[in-house]
Structure 1
Amino acid sequence: LVTGTTDVDYWVRHVRETVRFADGLRALETAGVSRFLELGPDGVLTAMAAASLTGDAVTAALLRKGRPEEPTALVALARLHVTGANVDWAALFAGCAVRTVGLPTYAFQHRRYWPTVPAAVTGDLGAAGLHAADHPLLTAALELSDDDGLLFTSRLSRQSHPWLADHVVRGDVLLPGTAFLELAVRAGDEAGCDRVEELTLAAPLVLPEHGGVRLQLRVGAADENGRRAFTVASRPEDADGGPWDQHASGILGTGAAPVAFDASVWPPAGAQAVDLSGLYEGMADGGYAYGPVFRGLRAAWRRGDEVFAEVALPAGTEGTGYGLHPALLDAALHVTAVNGMPHGVVPFSWEEVSLHASGASAVRVRVTRTGEESVAVAVTDSEGLPVASIGSLVLRAASAADARASAGDALFRVDWVPVEPVEPVVGSFVEVGSLAEVPVEVPPVVVVRSVAGGGVHE
């Protein structure tokens, strides 16, 4: 207790003179007091103290009117304890059957216990006459009865495949061109083809903010050389019938091409390091706002028309089930921005693509410029073993109009066209009456009228 607060004179002065409650609390705060406990039948002074103090002092009331005494007192003591006060808990719980339990000395580990079901698992496909496609972007496969063709189906959305939301082009979330290539490679595996001879993108596939799209990949019958045509189409899942939008088409074949790229010496001899700072900021300024999953370019070197790069998926990215993860290959193509091509170009057409190994999460890449808009790409793993080869890839800038067309609103949209003020029309015209209405003996009547200043004059 503060000295002098127990004599009669103190309390007489307390009643007759100014109390200076706030000044007293601030003096204690200045002296280093950081915790205030009110001992009384209610918490009125606790609220007043909290309003009077200027720092981070802790206030608590041991009792409160209308509340059970024991829980209220325990809450007050606990509040003081967690803010550093030394509470004698052993004395408090003396005679009670309680014991203390030590807390971990490391930070709490947060674990999510909700089950995560793979997007491709949707129940008993066999009951519907289908079989699982065993790929994250494809759910089911079906052998067509009229020939030896194949049909793959799936449903894609930002919710079922969250990583796709990181691929934003001119304000729209698009399925990356590398994902179409991944679909073609998987279809080729099922059809006995180990090479994508051709793949051309016709229109982007826009993923809506809510809901998803139905996807179909159709592989035709093999010709005499074992080549198969394929198409990729989609339709909004809430569409009541209507046409399907075709996004890609191509040819599958056999005879995988080798990877002519020795990545065992790294970085390659004679290559100069490239500064990648500001790369993705520049791409975002051009309308290509890529999220973390697609920002996998780690380092780059340049040697003439060749650019070499290290690319890796961010930690925690789920890559199971992919041949070559679309985000990994897409990030590898970003290195074209340092080889004379504009920022933010996207794949348009592919030729002579072969996948040699699957499941890579980090790769080494060589991109060789072969034309104004084309490159050749060789991909190996971190040990220099072949992963993929691309004979020719044509890159072009994405068009916002193409995205709108894919979304189905290219022909129908609301627009406001301002009308310019119209000047008064000044001129004249001749009105000739119908001869059928004029008697034969009366000559034809000609009436001349002029328009000026808003009036009509005959």
Structure 2
Amino acid sequence: MLTSAAQLWAHGTDVTWPTPAPATPGTPGTSLTEHVELPTYPFQRQSYWLDAADEPLNLASTGLTPQEHPFLGAALDLPEGGHLYTGSISLDAHPWLADHSVADVPLLPGAAFAQLALHIGHELDCPRVDELTLQAPLLLPEADAVQVHITAEAPEEGGSRVVTFQSRITSAEAGESVWVRHATATLSPDQASPPEDDASWLPVDATPIDTDPFYKTVASNGIVYGPEFQGLQSAWRHEDDVYAEVRLAEDRDAVFGLHPALLDAALHTIFLTESHPLGVPDDGPAGEGGARQVPLPFSWGGVSWYGECSGVLRVRLSVTGPSSYSVAISDENGRAIATVESLSVRPIALDQIEQASLRAEVPFQVEWVPAPARNHSDRPSSSDSLASWAVLGGGVGEWWEPVEGAGPDVAVYPDLASVLRQVSDGSV
């Protein structure tokens, strides 16, 4: 009876429950409201919650090797001697990268590609970057992360390796984008000995250069260096050479060994040469012109890194051609830190970067487009006119015949194959 009463009450029926009746001492009660004493043993229970693993993920168990590089997470050994390095770069994880922008678009500095090539080269016993060619800039979106793949092929005859840099944007809204190849490099195991220490770095007759308005002038031409990339401290000019002192805004050298912002600051001396191409207009093939251009690193050759650095670095940039240079970097004691035997720059139009940024921020997506309104008063009455509805099935004509005068919006077909034939012929 209690079960039936409970079911009625659960379904909304007003049940009049009996009032509690006091039990007679010493007599087992038969009242519906008799209280039962709790058992003297604890209730048995079992938890079905899944406990999270306390141990962190062991990358070695998945075949991956952890990487001690801010841009890289792990490395994977490939068959036949190749290696794949994976990582993620974003403005959220590396906010200092937002201080390097061209046409108001944050770009990964070309110096970062050179530093990554040096890092991988030292891991694979190929410490010299024989050649590094940049093919497409790596744009850094404001909200999304950029997935990076760096593939080092198996060593060729002589021990050199070919390295390819690729990336794609990953986001919850746009999904995974296509892979873009940004650069290729050739690493060599043959690295020359570092140059001898040179304490007498600056010629006595070098002419000082006023660097106070430097970053403001560069920004007016489309390249904006924020505080993290304003490493140029002082500069001098001597014949075709530019000498400079650079340093980081903060002490971050040890994280990278050779910080990309520090290496990039060394390249700012290009804008201090007498023949730098900053702001040269692009007249275009038909003389329409007017688009501003900025020089960006395009090709590196003979890049070597000799050791970690900190504090102020000394830079000597020599002009070797119309748009080519060589760079030597040393510390305050004259100890060689890095050398770039050849560096070529190539002007790039600012509007090209702006357009590339718009394409990256507005992914392709499917949208419904309203169909134009149909004017039923002008529709044809021919039996060959297009129909909006199709009725399938044998024998349907027996009951469809009386309403055929409703118009040509409905067509009758015996089966689906007939409809498909009409579609392939273009009749529907």
Q: What is the TM-score when the length of structure 1 is the normalising length?
A: 0.60
Cα 1:135–1:409 shift into 2, 3 Å: same
Q: 2:348 aligns with which of 398, 403, 408?
A: 398
**1:188 match:** 121
Q: 2:295 aligns with which of 317, 335, 345?
A: 345
Helix, strand or coil for the counterpart of 1:370? Answer: strand
Helix, strand or coil for the counterpart of 1:231? Answer: strand
Helix, strand or coil for the counterpart of 1:300? Answer: strand
CA distance in 2 between partners of 1:189 and 1:348 (Å): 23
**2:215 match:** 280
* 1:169–1:288 Cα contact (<8 Å) kept: yes
Task: Note if 1:130 corresponds to 2:80.
Answer: no
Deviates more, 1:331-340 or 1:258-267: 258-267
Q: 1:171 aligns with which of 95, 99, 104?
A: 104
CA distance in 2 between partners of 1:408 and 1:254 (Å): 41
**2:231 match:** 296
Task: Note if 1:215 corresponds to 2:157.
Answer: no
**2:86 match:** 153
* 2:148–2:168 Cα contact (<8 Å) kept: yes
Helix, strand or coil for the counterpart of 2:261? Answer: helix
Runs of 4+ in structure 1 deviating by more than 4 angstroms, as ranges, are: 258-262, 404-408, 410-414
The unaligned stretches of length 5 or more in structure 2 are 1-55, 279-293, 365-428
**1:250 match:** 185
CA distance in 2 between partners of 1:339 and 1:186 (Å): 30
- Once the two structures are TM-superposed, the CA of residue 409 in structure 1 deviates from its matched residue by 1.9
* 1:379–1:386 Cα contact (<8 Å) kept: yes
**2:131 match:** 198
CA RMSD of aligned residues (A): 2.3
- Once the two structures are TM-superposed, the CA of residue 129 in structure 1 deviates from its matched residue by 2.4
**What's the CA shift string for 1:250-291, capped at 9, x where partnerless?**
100022234557640243232111111211111000111110
- Once the two structures are TM-superposed, the CA of residue 317 in structure 1 deviates from its matched residue by 4.3
**1:375 match:** 325
Amino acid aligned to 1:228: R
Correspondences of 1:91-102 after superposition (within 5 Å): none
The unaligned stretches of length 5 or more in structure 1 are 1-121, 415-458
- Once the two structures are TM-superposed, the CA of residue 302 in structure 1 deviates from its matched residue by 1.0
Deviates more, 1:373-382 or 1:250-259: 250-259
* 1:150–1:191 Cα contact (<8 Å) kept: no
Task: Note if 1:335 corresponds to 2:269.
Answer: yes
**1:139 match:** 73
Higher relative contact order (CA 8 A, sep 6+): 2
Cα 1:126–1:260 shift into 2, 3 Å: closer
CA distance in 2 between partners of 1:342 and 1:391 (Å): 20
For these two proteins, the number of residue pairs brought into alignment is 291
Q: What is the TM-score when the length of structure 2 is the normalising length?
A: 0.64
CA distance in 1 between partners of 2:74 and 2:330 (Å): 30
- Once the two structures are TM-superposed, the CA of residue 404 in structure 1 deviates from its matched residue by 5.2
Task: Note if 1:319 corresponds to 2:319.
Answer: no
- Once the two structures are TM-superposed, the CA of residue 324 in structure 1 deviates from its matched residue by 1.2
Cα 1:298–1:231 shift into 2, 3 Å: same
- Once the two structures are TM-superposed, the CA of residue 147 in structure 1 deviates from its matched residue by 1.2
* 2:197–2:333 Cα contact (<8 Å) kept: no
**1:364 match:** 314
- Once the two structures are TM-superposed, the CA of residue 192 in structure 1 deviates from its matched residue by 1.1
CA distance in 2 between partners of 1:407 and 1:277 (Å): 31
Helix, strand or coil for the counterpart of 2:140? Answer: coil
Helix, strand or coil for the counterpart of 2:321? Answer: coil
**What's the CA shift string for 1:180-233, capped at 9, x where partnerless?**
001101111121101000000000001101121100100001011111001101
CA distance in 2 between partners of 1:216 and 1:398 (Å): 25
CA distance in 2 between partners of 1:406 and 1:331 (Å): 25
Amino acid aligned to 1:248: A
Cα 1:406–1:193 shift into 2, 3 Å: farther
CA distance in 2 between partners of 1:411 and 1:360 (Å): 37
Amino acid aligned to 2:104: G
Identity of aligned residues (%): 40
Task: Note if 1:226 corresponds to 2:159.
Answer: yes
